[in-house]
């Protein structure tokens, strides 16, 4: 697209150094850093407040699966020390309060325009500007265009026949209303048993007259072993701030936990059982770190998977329900889920399970859900059906780079996603993605991945400004190599052997493709730093 100078002055109401989309963990920190560096910045978010996914994911029982002492910003020691988490895995309202606290502390709101969706962003080569159009009919321009749109923020509402005919209420966990949804005395149906389903099912079951769970794929889940933090533990953690921050940044998954340097196969069965029982008692991600070959060795994976399967059959009293709840895929190749009383909930009289692979959902009727074998009368349907991950939020906007090429076309709807370091993509000068596809992001504790990206982007922009460089753009060869490396690494693991939102398999018609760098946070940080140290190797840097 060529945006003429006349059109520019006519249509464009404001001009910024940088425009950022999203006011969650990514956008807030990006804004803070851009402002510190003296760049005029505008942030847009379609929500009415800060929080990103934590603004929208308000469903009952919503929690983070990273421990709260890690699920923080660490760029400010003062901030880290001021905030006190109530428990190991606090609920969504507390995380949202934290992000509001951050926005207040650093006075961030004055540069954020809420209730505003970005519809398009187009790069004009002649002017070296991005033109960003929002749904309030305005266009602004910026030299740097930065996405902080999250990896799982575009809700997936499956296309099931008849939803419009349903006479009851329905909700999606990723777009939950602000008011409390009352389940008491009602017949509730929930579709989906990912993290959102598994967190909300025990909470809804306690309130509902009856809860019917419609499960497509059974999931592995282990107890969160959530508990309140005591003040002494928090004091010691804060005292250890510098070490903790370093450990999180150097680690594989953004937490100060390390894989035990041992294969599952190194332990005899009795010893292995003991290790896994201990990890089960510790809860959270402990099983993931108990051995070092869980996602790379089929035999190792099967042994750990069998341990978790045995727990399901111990907990769930009805053998037929236990059978339906027992997963067959590789353990931890879908996001490893942690829960509070998930499997126990199936022992309640008011909970029943429908396996929709055995008996597919045929339609939603006025009264409820009809499967191949039965009709279930419902007052409320909850869709816990997840997100169009990684690329879904990019494809909702019309993003066009050099020569008017659209990102959606370039990435061929997900099948041919190409990025350089998950931070940039060739043909889109001065555009940066915070935790974009092919970064390690979703395989760990997101705030650490976000901070690393924001800091890398900020250093890069400062380098451009100090050296009078008009734009930076990934070279096609560099991104081809990076994408190839991502795929080769992933193919050495079991991740690519399981259908999941990591591979796009959860979305009907979405071309598959594993779009995550599996080499770990610490090693990835080193690669990004080396690229910068070598004068932004793999990038074109064009002087003004
Ligand atoms: P997930 O993990 O993608 O889970 C979605 C669930 O919904 C999963 O059980 C899906 O089954 C199921 N699903 C999706 N579409 C359908 C249809 N059409 N019919 C029946 N069941 C369906 O999303 P969550 O919101 O739970 O969690 C997302 C992430 O948030 C999580 O990984 C954490 O990182 C935090 P499937 O397994 O695809 O067969």
Phi and psi for 206 in degrees, rounded to 5?
-70, -25
Please tell me the distance between residue 229's alpha carbon and the centre of ligand 1 in angstroms.
30
> How big is the chain, counted in residues?
544
Q: Is residue 282 domain-resident?
A: no
* Distances in whole angstroms, Cα of residue 243 to Cα of each of 235, 441, 524: 14, 22, 20
Do 377 and 410 fall within a single domain? no
Ligand 1 atom nearest to CA at 506:
38
Ligand 1 atom nearest to CA at 57:
25
Phi and psi for 13 in degrees, rounded to 5?
-85, -35
Do 335 and 365 fall within a single domain? yes
- Kindly give the pairing relationship between strand 139-147 and strand 129-134: antiparallel
d(CA 407, CA 423): 14
CB atoms within 10 A of CB 167: 10
Tell me, what's the pLDDT at 1? 46
In short, whether 194's Cβ falls inside 6 Å of ligand 1 is: yes
Do 147 and 201 fall within a single domain? no
In short, whether 333's Cβ falls inside 6 Å of ligand 1 is: no
Ligand 1: residue whose CA is nearest its atom 38: 506
Ligand 1 atom nearest to CA at 501:
3
Domain region containing 361: 163-240+297-383
What single DSSP character describes residue 270?
H
In short, whether 504's Cβ falls inside 6 Å of ligand 1 is: no
| Interior/surface letters 25-45, b for 16+ CB within 10 angstroms, e for the rest | bbbbbbbbbbbeeebebbbbb
- The pick from 56, 385, 388, 503 for probing ligand 1's pocket by mutation, whose C-beta has the most ligand atoms within 8 angstroms, reads 385
Q: Is residue 536 domain-resident?
A: yes
Do 146 and 180 fall within a single domain? no
Please tell me the distance between residue 193's alpha carbon and the centre of ligand 1 in angstroms.
6
Q: Nearest 10 degrees: CA dihedral of 190, 503, 71, 292? A: 120
Domain boundary pick from 383, 399, 432: 383
Cα three-residue angle 109-114-116, rounded to 5 degrees: 150
Encoding tokens for residue 289? Answer: 């770190």
- The pick from 24, 95, 159, 192 for probing ligand 1's pocket by mutation, whose C-beta has the most ligand atoms within 8 angstroms, reads 192
Please tell me the distance between residue 405's alpha carbon and the centre of ligand 1 in angstroms.
32
Do 506 and 418 fall within a single domain? yes
Contact (CB, 8 A) for 393 and 24: no
Please tell me the distance between residue 194's alpha carbon and the centre of ligand 1 in angstroms.
4
d(CA 214, CA 227): 30
Contact (CB, 8 A) for 160 and 373: no
Q: Is residue 69 domain-resident?
A: yes
CATH code assigned at 354: 3.50.50.60
Please tell me the distance between residue 433's alpha carbon and the centre of ligand 1 in angstroms.
25
Do 29 and 141 fall within a single domain? yes
Do 86 and 134 fall within a single domain? yes
Q: Is residue 538 domain-resident?
A: yes
d(CA 221, CA 175): 24
d(CA 42, CA 289): 40
Encoding tokens for residue 111? Answer: 């540069």
**Secondary structure class of 148 (helix, strand, coil):** coil
In short, whether 506's Cβ falls inside 6 Å of ligand 1 is: yes
* Distances in whole angstroms, Cα of residue 241 to Cα of each of 106, 236, 302, 442, 526: 20, 9, 38, 24, 22
How would you write the pLDDT of the chain (544 residues) with one tens digit per residue?
Answer: 445 555 655 566 799 999 999 999 999 999 999 999 999 999 999 999 999 999 999 999 999 999 999 999 999 999 999 999 999 999 999 999 999 999 999 999 999 999 999 999 999 999 999 999 999 999 999 999 999 999 988 999 999 999 999 999 999 999 999 999 999 999 999 999 999 999 999 999 999 999 999 999 999 999 999 999 999 999 999 999 999 999 999 999 999 998 999 999 999 999 999 999 999 999 999 999 999 999 999 999 999 999 999 999 999 999 999 999 999 999 999 998 999 999 999 999 999 999 999 999 999 999 999 999 999 999 999 999 999 998 989 999 999 999 999 999 999 866 788 999 999 999 999 999 999 999 999 999 999 999 999 999 999 999 999 999 999 999 999 999 999 999 999 999 999 999 999 888 888 888 878 899 999 999 999 999 999 999 999 999 999 9
Contact (CB, 8 A) for 469 and 536: no
Ligand 1: residue whose CA is nearest its atom 35: 195
Q: Is residue 246 domain-resident?
A: no
In short, whether 371's Cβ falls inside 6 Å of ligand 1 is: no
In short, whether 384's Cβ falls inside 6 Å of ligand 1 is: yes
Please tell me the distance between residue 384's alpha carbon and the centre of ligand 1 in angstroms.
6
Q: Nearest 10 degrees: CA dihedral of 119, 483, 489, 289? A: -30
Please tell me the distance between residue 399's alpha carbon and the centre of ligand 1 in angstroms.
27
Ligand 1 atom nearest to CA at 385:
7
Ligand 1: residue whose CA is nearest its atom 17: 158
Do 349 and 456 fall within a single domain? no
Tell me, what's the pLDDT at 511? 80
Encoding tokens for residue 428? Answer: 């889109």
- Kindly give the pairing relationship between strand 368-371 and strand 361-364: antiparallel
Q: Is residue 271 domain-resident?
A: no
Ligand 1: residue whose CA is nearest its atom 33: 195
Give the H or E element holding residue 324: helix 319-325
Please tell me the distance between residue 88's alpha carbon and the centre of ligand 1 in angstroms.
24
Q: Where are the beta strands (DSSP E) in 59-217?
A: 112-113, 118-124, 129-134, 139-147, 169-172, 187-191, 210-215
Helix 241-250 with 521-533: angle, nearest 10 deg: 80
Q: Is residue 493 domain-resident?
A: yes
H-only helix segments in 154-297: 195-207, 231-239, 241-250, 269-282, 286-290
Ligand 1: residue whose CA is nearest its atom 3: 386
Do 339 and 416 fall within a single domain? no
**DSSP conformation letters of 491-531:** HTSSGGGS-STTTTTTSTTPPP------S-HHHHHHHHHHH
In short, whether 444's Cβ falls inside 6 Å of ligand 1 is: no
d(CA 376, CA 211): 11
Give the H or E element holding residue 395: helix 392-395
Domain boundary pick from 365, 383, 401: 383
In short, whether 197's Cβ falls inside 6 Å of ligand 1 is: yes
Tell me, what's the pLDDT at 243? 98
Do 520 and 479 fall within a single domain? yes
Domain boundary pick from 322, 357, 383: 383
For the chain, what is the domain count? 2
Q: Return the residue matching tokens 């697209």.
A: 1
In short, whether 340's Cβ falls inside 6 Å of ligand 1 is: no
In short, whether 196's Cβ falls inside 6 Å of ligand 1 is: yes
In short, whether 370's Cβ falls inside 6 Å of ligand 1 is: no
Q: Is the dihedral of CA 313, 315, 318, 322 positive or negative?
A: negative
Q: Is the dihedral of CA 97, 99, 100, 105 positive or negative?
A: positive
Tell me, what's the pLDDT at 28? 98
d(CA 168, CA 474): 50
Q: Nearest 10 degrees: CA dihedral of 214, 218, 222, 226? A: -20
Burial class from Cβ neighbours inside 10 Å (0-12, 13-18, 19+) for residue 11 reads middle
Tell me, what's the pLDDT at 510? 86
Ligand 1 atom nearest to CA at 383:
7
d(CA 86, CA 371): 42
Q: Is the dihedral of CA 269, 275, 278, 280 positive or negative?
A: negative
Please tell me the distance between residue 217's alpha carbon and the centre of ligand 1 in angstroms.
9
Do 314 and 405 fall within a single domain? no
Please tell me the distance between residue 488's alpha carbon and the centre of ligand 1 in angstroms.
26
Encoding tokens for residue 359? Answer: 């008996």
H-only helix segments in 208-297: 231-239, 241-250, 269-282, 286-290
Contact (CB, 8 A) for 158 and 510: no
Do 48 and 80 fall within a single domain? yes
Q: Is residue 360 domain-resident?
A: yes
pTM equals 0.96
């Amino acid at each position: 697209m060529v945006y003429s100078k006349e059109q520019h002055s006519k249509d464009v109401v404001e001009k910024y150094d940088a425009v950022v989309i999203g006011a969650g963990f990514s956008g807030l920190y990006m804004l803070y850093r851009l402002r510190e560096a003296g760049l005029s910045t505008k942030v847009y978010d379609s929500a009415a407040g800060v929080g990103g996914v934590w603004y929208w994911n308000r469903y009952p029982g919503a929690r983070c699966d990273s421990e709260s002492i890690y699920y923080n910003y660490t760029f400010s020691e003062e901030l880290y020390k001021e905030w006190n988490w109530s428990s190991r895995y606090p609920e969504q309202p507390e995380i949202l309060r934290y992000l509001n606290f951050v926005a207040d502390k650093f006075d961030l709101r004055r540069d954020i325009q809420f209730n505003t969706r970005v519809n398009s962003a187009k790069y004009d080569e002649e002017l070296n500007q991005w033109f960003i159009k929002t749904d309030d009919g305005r266009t602004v321009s910026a030299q740097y265009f930065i996405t902080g749109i999250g990896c799982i923020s575009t809700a997936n509402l499956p296309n099931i026949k008849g939803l419009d005919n349903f006479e009851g209420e329905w909700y999606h966990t990723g777009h939950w209303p602000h008011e409390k949804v009352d389940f008491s005395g009602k017949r509730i149906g929930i579709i989906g048993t990912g993290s959102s389903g598994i967190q909300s099912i025990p909470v809804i079951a306690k309130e509902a007259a009856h809860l019917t769970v419609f499960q497509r794929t059974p999931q592995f889940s282990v107890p969160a072993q959530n508990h309140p933090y005591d003040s002494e533990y928090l004091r010691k953690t804060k005292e250890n701030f510098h070490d903790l921050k370093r450990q999180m940044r150097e680690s594989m998954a953004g937490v100060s936990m390390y894989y035990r340097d041992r294969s599952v196969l190194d332990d005899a069965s009795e010893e292995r059982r003991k290790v896994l029982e201990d990890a089960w008692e510790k809860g959270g991600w402990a099983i993931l770190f108990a051995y070092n070959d869980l996602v790379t060795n089929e035999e190792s994976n099967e042994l750990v998977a069998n341990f978790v399967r045995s727990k399901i059959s111990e907990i769930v009293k009805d053998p037929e329900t236990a059978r339906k709840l027992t997963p067959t895929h590789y353990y931890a190749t879908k996001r490893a889920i942690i829960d509070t009383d998930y499997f126990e909930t199936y022992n309640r009289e008011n909970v029943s399970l429908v396996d929709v692979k055995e008996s597919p959902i045929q339609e939603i009727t006025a009264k409820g859900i009809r499967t191949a074998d039965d009709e279930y009368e419902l007052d409320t349907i909850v869709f816990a059906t997840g997100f169009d991950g990684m690329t879904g939020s990019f494809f909702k906007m019309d993003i066009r780079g050099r020569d008017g090429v659209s990102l959606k076309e370039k990435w061929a709807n997900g099948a041919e996603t190409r990025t350089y370091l998950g931070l940039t993509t060739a043909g889109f000068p001065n555009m940066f993605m915070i935790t974009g596809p092919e970064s390690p992001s979703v395989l760990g504790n997101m705030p650490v991945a976000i901070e690393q990206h924001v800091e890398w982007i900020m250093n890069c922009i400062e380098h451009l400004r100090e050296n009078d460089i008009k734009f930076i753009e990934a070279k096609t060869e560099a991104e081809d190599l990076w994408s190839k490396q991502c795929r080769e690494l992933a193919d050495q693991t079991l991740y690519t052997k399981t259908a999941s939102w990591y591979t796009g398999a959860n979305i009907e018609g979405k071309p598959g493709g594993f779009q995550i760098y599996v080499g770990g946070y610490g090693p990835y940080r080193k690669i990004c730093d080396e690229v910068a140290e070598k004068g932004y190797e793999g990038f074109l840097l064009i002087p003004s």
